[in-house]
Amino acid sequence: MSETRSISTGSGVIVAVLDSGSAPHPDIRRNLLAGSNQASPGKDGRTDNDGHGTRMAALIAAHGHGSNSGIQGIAPSAKILPVIVSSDGLGDSAIMAKGMAWAANHNANIINVSGAVGPGFALKDAVDDAIDKDIVVIAAVGNTAQDLIINHPAAFNGVLAVGATGRNGKYSDKSVKDEKVQICAPGVDIISAQPPRGYGIAAGTSDSTAIVSGAAALVRAKFPELSAKEVVHRLTATADDIGPPGRDDECGFGRLNIVKALTADVPPLEGGGESAGPAASSAAPSAPTTVRPQSAAPVADAEPAGNGSVLLFGGLAGVVAAAALVLVLVLRRRGRN
């Protein structure tokens, strides 16, 4: 991600992660705010009995540790606001709604939902309120192993609905197809932090969503004058069209291109509506879409990662990967420059 580090690191942006919480893993600890536990009121969000929330938080804003160890997320200077909406992997629409409302009232600039619950009127109202407060709401469309139709809150209007691409950079059949899908990001063979101090590899639209949330944090930091709708527009307008020409049910407007999202000349939305699709770019349409990872090796104090498959957060398939089309993070060898 060296191409983006000189442009934006997400500084000043708060990303709320509505999930299983986030443990104070060494690679995320400095960026971790107290948050809230909506599943067990009175506690904060800095615990994680499942591991899923920690993985999502690290994909978004891990900063590494020591002199040159650990992993870095997409936006390593962003802050994570962990909001626990489930501690057992079972989704509850009412609790998700409370978590959404809490995040919206506690300075979140972006809300990441790498999971799903039933629709629910309270959740719809909470999503609408967050959007009215100029918050970018980003949610996973769902994994085909669990879902036949798009998840909520991803199905709600105004939410940036995220699908997954595979190792080949094309649509992954693990990702639910739907006309509401707007963008895809890598979702297969994704390395991230695993509490308490380890690392794990997983797959699914949960990971794709966290990657897009990290990209949104970079955009909000780089272009603080943009509204939430304009941030979404910039992400979708600069996406690489990888399916049938135009918007499609697999990846919406296309595959996330972080470099273009930060550098392209994107005309503003007309009438304040949703993105109408890719925009003409004066910032070299051939801007690179592939960011190669540095040499990767387990950190010395890494611990084995569990499977962590849960209903709310979707199934996770563990397989080894060497590269992704958009670099999700950097796993750095201790002491290596």
Catalytic residue numbers read 19, 52, 206
Question: What's the CA gap between 291 and 258, in Å, rounded?
Answer: 10
Contact between residue 17 and residue 83 where contact means Cβ atoms under 8 Å apart:
yes
CB-CB neighbours of 201 under 10 Å: 19
Question: What's the CA gap between 29 and 22, in Å, rounded?
Answer: 9
Show Cβ contacts of residue 179 under 8 Å, excluding neighbours closer than 6 positions: 249
